[in-house]
Amino acid sequence: MHLAATRILTDDVDTLLAFYADLTGVDAVRRHPMFGEIRTPTGTLAIASTATIPLLGEGVAEARANRSIILDLQVEDVDAVSRALPRGTGTVGDAPRDMPWGNRSFLLRDPDGNLVNVFTPLGRTAQEGPAEGGHARPAESRPV
C-alpha cells in the first residue's frame, strides 16, 4: 500500500491552495476548478471543493469540521518559518518549542481552521530526517 495523498475539503479551493503554496513554497497544481494539489517529493496535499462531496456519497464529509487530525509539515528551520509568517496567520499557542519526542514545532490553523504542525527534528536537518526510530520522512531539498 502507498499513501497517495491527504485531502482537505473546503468551500474555498483558491484560498486554501494559496495558503499551502505560500506556507510550503511549492506551486499549486490545479487539476480542475474543484480540485488542486500541492505536490512534494514525500507526499501530496489535495484540496477539493465541497461540491465534490455528493460524488463520494451524500453527507459523508463536512468542510471546516475537523477536530481530530493535524497535518504535519517538516521544514529545515522551524524558527525561521515561524518568524516569516505574516502577523495574524493563525498561530496556536506560543513560539516554536521542543517536544519530548524529538521535534521542535509550532501549531497554526489554515484558513478553514484545520490544525497544521510545522516542525524540524531536533539536532538534525529536515533532509536528514528524525533520529533512529522517528516517524517523519526527509523533506524536499528546498527549505519551507
pLDDT in tens, the chain (144 residues): 989 999 999 999 999 999 999 999 999 999 899 999 999 999 999 999 999 999 899 889 888 888 889 999 999 999 999 998 876 677 777 789 999 999 999 999 999 999 999 999 998 655 555 544 444 444 443 333
Nearest in space to 118 (alpha carbons), one of 141, 100, 143? 143
What are the structural domains of the chain? 1-50 (3.30.720.120), 67-125 (3.30.720.110)
Nearest in space to 40 (alpha carbons), one of 22, 49, 28? 28
The mean of the pLDDT values for the chain is 85
Contact 105, 118 (CB under 8 A): yes
